[in-house]
Amino acid sequence: MTMENSDDIRLIVKIAQLYYEQDMTQAQIARELGIYRTTISRLLKRGREQGIVTIAINYDYNENLWLEQQLKQKFGLKEAVVASSDGLLEEEQLSAMGQHGALLVDRLLEPGDIIGFSWGRAVRSLVENLPQASQSRQVICVPIIGGPSGKLESRYHVNTLTYGAAARLKAESHLADFPALLDNPLIRNGIMQSQHFKTISSYWDSLDVALVGIGSPAIRDGANWHAFYGSEESDDLNARHVAGDICSRFYDINGGLVDTNMSEKNPVDRNGEAAPGSLFHRHRHGGREILWHSWRIARTLY
């Protein structure tokens, strides 16, 4: 676009000075200069287009916005939220993550949504920071993984988190009475045929939001990890170069599924699709969308 003549430039500068520096409204400027308000709006836009007016955002006040944009572009996310952790202790980092995640979830939820919950510290922090609803949000809270194999603190248990979120949202909830991993095929098949399991798993086809951690090699020596899985799985995961897991479904650094000793212990239905708690499943029902939700509100520590 060609530059305006000197008179036009002077007018644009004058209008910009009144608007941006003196905080006058477009209507006030129009009255003062005797120009139509639509002309004021058009000349302000032209001033930005031609570089007469430049607007700079000081990201020192929120450098996370830049990081969030990079994450969205890199991984094709619809939305990303980054919580600052500089100078914070680990529990404070979890709390900051939970606060940011809870605000996002609160904004995302719509009446009729079905929300799936995993387990662990990150999910607990998010649940504890959900705003207390004054009336029912008209959502349903369900577990997307079973209980631990070891002795996990109850405050990190999927049922505790599912019920706690439902209480805050004044929502309906359903709880899991089956373990996440089952060694005995007969018991596994029996559980999958139970009416309770069928009721819970029927919600997985229609999940709108899933709240999960995304795992990390750094947590395998942690008490919670051993409490959930037991103490015999770390060597196998290290040998297979596992980068993380979502609901006991493990993936590599490129996001591909990794077959582990635990894979066959995770109940599957007759079609071989993942049953309790895998978010790598049922893509025809929106599983990929659920996975995106999971990544954007997850943390790499349980």
Same topology between domain 3-50 and domain 110-301: no
Tokens matching residue 204: 């997985």
pLDDT of residue 46: 93
- How many C-alpha atoms does 239 have within 13 Å on its Cβ side? 8
Among the four given CATH numbers 3.30.365.10, 1.10.10.60, 3.30.230.70, 3.30.70.920, the one describing domain 3-50: 1.10.10.60
Q: What is the pLDDT of residue 291?
A: 37
**What fold does the segment set 110-301 form as a domain?**
Rossmann fold (3.40.50)
- Kindly give the confidence (pLDDT) of every residue in the chain, 302 residues in length, as a single tens digit, with 9 standing for 90 and above: 444 577 789 999 999 999 999 999 999 999 999 999 999 999 999 999 999 999 887 766 667 888 888 888 888 888 888 888 778 888 888 898 899 999 999 998 999 999 999 988 889 999 999 999 999 999 999 999 888 766 778 888 899 999 999 999 999 999 988 888 877 888 888 888 889 988 998 998 888 999 988 876 666 666 776 666 666 666 677 778 788 888 888 888 888 888 887 777 776 443 344 443 334 433 333 433 333 333 333 333 33
* ∠ Cα 113 182 172 (to 5°): 20
Parse the chain into domains and list their residue ranges.
3-50, 110-301
Map residue 120 onto helix, strand or coil.
coil
Residue 250, H or E segment: strand 249-251
Q: What is the pLDDT of residue 227?
A: 67
Widest CA span in the chain: 86
Contact indicator for 143, 158 with CB cutoff of 8 Å = yes
Confidence (pLDDT) at 189: 84
| DSSP strand pairing (249-251 vs 244-246) | antiparallel
Asked if 85 and 93 count as a contact pair (C-beta separation under 8 A), the reply is yes
